[in-house]
Amino acid sequence: MKNNIRVERAILNISQAELAERVQVTRQTINAIELGKYAPSAVLAMKIARVFGKKVEDVFELEDTD
Amino acid sequence: MKNNIRVERAILNISQAELAERVQVTRQTINAIELGKYAPSAVLAMKIARVFGKKVEDVFELEDTD
DNA sequence: ATATTATGTAAAATATATTTTACATTATGC
DNA sequence: GCATAATGTAAAATATATTTTACATAATAT
């Protein structure tokens, strides 16, 4: 599962901590997902996309291994 | 987390078992998600939406409790 | 240069999703 | 009515996401 959270955060100019706060998870969760350590739940993916004003598919991309 | 998997399945005329096969999970997993017993992972939500030719947001809807 | 903010990481605990096996109920075709 | 397919359900096991606490490093501002 790839994502462009870093880019979208840069556009909004918000930190991992602020994104975490906005979607109600810890900073470590955002960090891990952003770095691709694991994939989020659908709920979290939708919340993150919503913060960015984008669709889930515009922020996250399925890989062949998923 | 609400969803309209049942409707989308009806449009494609496929059973829970066939949807499960197409997204590589068990039939029970599709049944549980369709009935709202729990929310899927982002990977599974994206695979399901892809089968229906829809965006995740067109198949799943965040609720206030999510 | 130093203080402050942001990011990376890690281990243990907890919550949640998914599988497996199995059976019950409901719908559908014949 | 009977066979068959489809759906609902449940308990236990396993996999995975998320939290908590804590510390390390990198970047930025003053």
Distance B28 CA to C29 C1' (A): 25
Q: Which segments of B1-66 are extended strands (E)?
A: 2-3, 60-61
Task: Output phi, psi for B36, to 5 deg.
Answer: 75, 20
pTM of the model: 0.95
Give the pLDDT confidence of A4-30 residue by residue, as tens digits: 999 999 999 999 999 999 999 999 999
Residue B45: pLDDT band with limits 50, 70, 90: very high
Distance A62 CA to C8 C1' (A): 24
What per-residue confidence (pLDDT) applies to A47?
A: 98
Residue B65: pLDDT band with limits 50, 70, 90: very high
Give the pLDDT confidence of A28-63 residue by residue, as tens digits: 999 999 999 999 999 999 999 999 999 999 999 999
Could you tell me which chain B residue has the CA closest to the CA of A54? B57
Residues B32 and B41: their CA atoms lie apart, in Å, by 13
Domains and CATH numbers, chain A: 2-61 (1.10.260.40)
What per-residue confidence (pLDDT) applies to B32?
A: 98
Nucleotides of D under 7 A from a protein CB: 5-11, 16-22
Q: Is A54 on the interface with B (CB under 8 A)?
A: no
Residue B43: pLDDT band with limits 50, 70, 90: very high
